[in-house]
Structure 1
């Protein structure tokens, strides 16, 4: 195992545009039941530009989901600040929509009612909300299932509903936390390609959490590697200069993909081993 902990920084092209998302010196701490302070993240600096697709990988328990929660506004930072379009985030992020690993559709509502709900909560009338919902249901490949309930759908179809629920409100920021991890490999590849197709048609900035390094590279413009906790920070920030549009199944055979995988895995493997060793000491 390499002892190197050098940072690999990605310097984006200079631009006068304010980042959509910026974490500035962010530290997040929690109080354990014993009263002890547990530091999850330490001094995180991260920028996400408009339309960027950024994935975050790291060992279990390093704070990937906590990072997402900070951007969503579900948790405030203990130190530092989260900025959205250059303004400090106060409370829930109104520009963001979230797709989680767990199901987020209401089981007693039909597909069209679930998909249109966000618009109706914003005050849009039922007819207009339904019309837009039908468009998004078709775009995610569920035409004909408008009146089905979640329990009547496969896992992959429910993920399509979740995507439509989020995208119908046209979020500037799409936050995804292990969203495809429970799917079988074939359905997962279909959903990854579906996500890329829809993302390429929008200007959303995506922050994607995954344990799967191949998935991260195949989808992303950048891959962020977090160190092992406690007090995780950013170890590597890798640009992914693979051609778009991409097919996630085919891009894995690109020689550049394999070089990137080896390079990033060398960083990630060290952190996984540190995390494993730490867990065995507790």
Structure 2
């Protein structure tokens, strides 16, 4: 479904110096696979997601979607970001149905489909509410419904739950898994939280510290599904995986801190 082939990304600093964020990234994500990317702050996790979304073009190498080189915005993908993406002047049902309306679906049909997704994410009865009338967790549910109603083949999530309290975050993680298991979407999930990455994913990719970050580790998460993210953390295999991946990640975090202190 997704393939990065020798993908690198460079930016030009105000000084004119070339800054390499990502260097020679080679990554394949299969259809229906849930893949998380972790790494120290500033290593290029979000840049990797932006390349897959088509928001940025690689400076070298290429991104392929279903075997075709990506040119421009990835029309197979939908994105859920850390920041709010609901229009404050629109109700829940108007926000959720917007993607279909923009695709030319008639209002009545779009509303009917929106009601199904609003119920799926646990917001039945809130169709007429505005974003400011909802809690943070409820607004994240709206964001999920907004993306999933278009039935994307690829779901891109960038620190989507990081602003939530720990209890709401666990609820949203379980909600995401429940809905994802009903679809065949491939997921790229960016997070700083290694426990979250392991609990959700089929694979966890570890990036090295920047600049010129590359892939250091690619770990298969062979934990049974379906999963409850709160309970799976006590599984001995989970703890073993956490220790193994953290040993890889920890060194990169220390390198990142050293770079920051010397900057």
- TM-score, normalised with respect to structure 2: 1.00
1:46 counterpart residue number: 27
How far does the alpha carbon of each residue in 1:97-122 deviate from its partner, in whole angstroms, 9 at most, with x for none?
A: 00000000000000000000000000
1:128 counterpart residue number: 109
2:252 counterpart residue number: 271
1:169 paired with 2:169, answer no
How far does the alpha carbon of each residue in 1:206-258 deviate from its partner, in whole angstroms, 9 at most, with x for none?
A: 00000000000000000000000000000000000000000000000000000
Gaps of at least 5 residues in structure 1 are: 1-19
1:30 paired with 2:26, answer no
Please provide the CA RMSD for this pair.
0.3
1:67 counterpart residue number: 48
3-state secondary structure, aligned to 2:25: strand
How far does the alpha carbon of each residue in 1:18-59 deviate from its partner, in whole angstroms, 9 at most, with x for none?
A: xx0000000000011111110000000000000000000000
3-state secondary structure, aligned to 1:43: strand
2:59 counterpart residue number: 78
1:181 aligned to which of 136, 150, 162: 162
Deviation at 1:66, TM superposition (A): 0.2
- How many equivalent pairs are there? 263
1:251 counterpart residue number: 232
Query: Which runs of structure 2 are paired with 1:185-224 in the superposition (5 Å)?
Result: 185-224=166-205
CA distance in 1, matches of 2:97, 2:111: 6
CA distance in 2, matches of 1:237, 1:208: 14
2:126 counterpart residue number: 145
- TM-score, normalised with respect to structure 1: 0.93
3-state secondary structure, aligned to 2:206: strand
CA distance in 2, matches of 1:89, 1:259: 37
CA distance in 2, matches of 1:244, 1:75: 34
CA distance in 2, matches of 1:54, 1:169: 21
Query: Which runs of structure 2 are paired with 1:89-128 in the superposition (5 Å)?
Result: 89-128=70-109
CA distance in 2, matches of 1:272, 1:153: 36
CA distance in 2, matches of 1:144, 1:37: 52
Query: Which runs of structure 2 are paired with 1:221-232 in the superposition (5 Å)?
Result: 221-232=202-213
